[in-house]
Chain A
Amino acid sequence: MEKTVNQKAWFLVLPVLILVAFSAVIPLMTVVNYAFQDTFGNNKFFWAGLEWFEELLDSERMWGALGRQLAFSGIILAIEVPLGIFVALHMPKKGFWASFCLVLMSLPLLIPWNVVGTIWQVFGRVDIGLLGYTLDKLGISYNYTQDFFAAWATVIVMDVWHWTSLVALLAYAGLQSIPDAYYQAAKIDQASRWKVFRYIELPKMQGVLMIAILLRFMDSFMIYTEPFVVTGGGPGNSTTFLSIDLVKMALGQFDLGPAAAFSLMYFLVILLISWVFYTVMTNLDKRDGV
């Protein structure tokens, strides 16, 4: 009996496995194929070995984009995670206002990504956008199309606006699962607010926070649409992140070999960082793995 159920169960997983394998392996193979070959543009390919990879490792352009990408992901994680936790801690716990807050916070998550870019493009304009206009009147020189610092600030504020809600919602979910008895016990022990946070709330949020950080890392590391709409990678190359650079290379210049080598390294970097993070987190807390 047990055996037949087991086999039937595997039979049910199979279609998904085939589909995911199809959607993952075929593009990956094509990329690998391009990455090791060269062409004169006549659809005949010949073996190029590690040429593209060597070129890539020597290119300052790639290292520049990678550096900017790491800085961007680092900064938005450093802002969004603490801010999200802070918001979650201060949200009403139940009743009408709780659901009102939840709906309000999910608004930015419902908007198509290129609309997010459009909204901030208009919002940040010095002449007509409320944000740019206000900053300008306050005497802060701000112009995201010309100033390096302003462009970065805009892209980061936009991402924080777009995604902090997700971290907050997940952290809120973690907090909801803490029984009142824990707080009562802490009160009897006269624990400080900080200790309640450090020893009760934070450990309980660890599981969902790990999901939040992983998701945010992956998405921010592959960010394309929003900064592309707002700054187009500029001014100069200052907000050209990895994906934007890759699009320029693959679609702008049709350098398929280097672009494929680029994607492959890109993929491996994401995989490596996620894996390190996942391993560290699961080892920190064996009880609570995903």
Chain B
Amino acid sequence: MSRTVTTQRKAINTALAWGIGLLIFFPILWTFLTSFKTEATAIADPPVFLFFDWTLENYSVVTERSDYARFLWNSIFIAGGSTILGIIVAVPAAWSMAFVPSHRTKDILLWMLSTKMLPAVGVLYPIYLLFIKMGLLDSRLGLTLVLMLINLPIIVWMLYTYFREIPGEILEAARMDGATLRSEIIYVLTPMAVPGIASTLLLNFILAWNEAFWTLNLTAAKAAPLTAFIASYSSPEGLFYAKLSAASTMAIAPILILGWFSQKQLVRGLTFGAVK
């Protein structure tokens, strides 16, 4: 960096960055800490920060009361299934839009984006009726399909952006060497496209995992994922904050761990490929 920054200014900037970082992190930390308190400590006045008797009681109560493993498996199935299905359909489409663009490609992309603008609430009832008729209500398959359709425009957009960055000359070179369309895809394109696909996969997995509107409205007992697991603890009487915090922590832990181990793809995905 060639800009001159005085030491004083640097210190202020560092302090600011840390301050903002703490502000971002603090609500999550607070939830995490509360989950280890007893209900009595959780509502203590004044609130205690670190020095209390840490207890795992809430976690054992929560795991006893609801079948965490089943919610977790439903979340994995729905988020994973919808993302993989979406990618399978979207990769060929994005590939051909990126390498064989026609004058309508841009219009198609914009049209796809515009389908995301119909408020979900407005179409809930028709979809609900359709689901009853087809027997898909409260089934993992039904939810997987809905989330796949919802995220498909984003998957196509992201893949298109990544694929467009792959230089076309490489494909020409492969064709000069007599590669067929099939071997072109398998041996040339796939290796270059894998990082982009990985980022898209990750981001859409997270989007599907976090989706709370459709998952809450289209499932009941059988297919409910972790978002419903949380909702079952935000009881109207709202007295059990420590347990609610424990349930929240259990619901976000898997995705935070996944995010931590795949930071690079994650940041790439979140910025639609703009950060390398």
Encode contact with A along B237-276: 1 for CB under 8 Å, 0 otherwise. Answer: 0000100110010011001100110011011001110111
Interface-located stretch among B53-61, B107-115, B131-139: B107-115
B125 and A251 contacting across the interface, CB-CB below 8 Å: yes
In the complex, whether B45 has a CB less than 8 A from a CB of chain A is yes
In the complex, whether A90 has a CB less than 8 A from a CB of chain B is yes
B45 and A127 contacting across the interface, CB-CB below 8 Å: yes
Looking across the interface, which residue of chain B has its beta carbon closest to that of A183?
B2
Shortest Cβ distance from B213 into chain A, in angstroms?
A: 6
Interface residues of B in 116-149 (CB under 8 A from A): 116-127, 149
In the complex, whether B30 has a CB less than 8 A from a CB of chain A is yes
B274 and A90 contacting across the interface, CB-CB below 8 Å: no
Chain A residue contacts of B112, Cβ below 8 A: 20
By size class, the interface of chain A is: 35 or more
In the complex, whether B97 has a CB less than 8 A from a CB of chain A is yes
A218 and B27 alpha carbons, distance in the complex (Å): 25
* Contact (A256, B24) CB under 8 Å given A115-B251, A128-B241, A176-B275: no
* Contact (A31, B31) CB under 8 Å given A20-B152, A103-B260, A111-B210: no
Interface residues of B in 197-214 (CB under 8 A from A): 206, 209-213
Shortest Cβ distance from B91 into chain A, in angstroms?
A: 9
User: Residue among A9, A10, A256 with the most chain B CB within 10 A?
Assistant: A9
Looking across the interface, which residue of chain B has its beta carbon closest to that of A2?
B100
In the complex, whether B3 has a CB less than 8 A from a CB of chain A is yes
A133 and B275 contacting across the interface, CB-CB below 8 Å: no
Q: Dominant SS at the B interface?
A: helix
Shortest Cβ distance from B175 into chain A, in angstroms?
A: 9
A128 and B115 contacting across the interface, CB-CB below 8 Å: no
Chain B residue contacts of A129, Cβ below 8 A: 30, 47
User: Residue among A13, A105, A115 with the most chain B CB within 10 A?
Assistant: A115
A170 and B117 contacting across the interface, CB-CB below 8 Å: no
* Contact (A260, B122) CB under 8 Å given A118-B230, A130-B47: yes
Shortest Cβ distance from B222 into chain A, in angstroms?
A: 20
Q: Knowing that A30-B123, A133-B46, A183-B1 touch, tell me 20 more A-B residue pairs with CB under 8 angstroms.
A: A23-B150, A24-B115, A27-B122, A28-B123, A103-B263, A110-B252, A110-B255, A112-B211, A112-B212, A112-B227, A115-B227, A115-B230, A119-B248, A165-B24, A222-B117, A222-B119, A225-B212, A250-B121, A270-B117, A271-B117
Which A residues have a C-beta under 8 Å from some C-beta of B? 5-6, 8-10, 12-13, 15-17, 19-20, 22-24, 26-28, 30-31, 34, 87, 90-93, 99, 101-115, 118-123, 127-130, 133, 137, 161, 165-166, 169-170, 172-174, 176-177, 180, 183-184, 187, 193, 196, 208, 211, 218, 222, 224-225, 229, 242-243, 246-247, 250-251, 256, 259-260, 262-264, 266-267, 270-271, 274
Which B residues have a C-beta under 8 Å from some C-beta of A? 1-4, 13, 16-17, 20-21, 23-28, 30-31, 34, 42-47, 89-90, 92-93, 95-97, 99-100, 102, 108, 111-112, 114-127, 149-150, 152-153, 156, 181, 206, 209-213, 216, 226-227, 230-231, 234, 241, 244-245, 248, 251-252, 255-256, 259-260, 263-264, 266-267, 270-272, 274-276
Contacts A/B (CB < 8 Å), 23 sampled: A5-B181, A9-B99, A12-B92, A20-B152, A20-B153, A27-B118, A31-B123, A105-B21, A107-B256, A108-B24, A111-B210, A113-B211, A114-B212, A115-B230, A119-B30, A133-B46, A170-B271, A208-B274, A222-B119, A222-B120, A229-B234, A251-B124, A263-B122
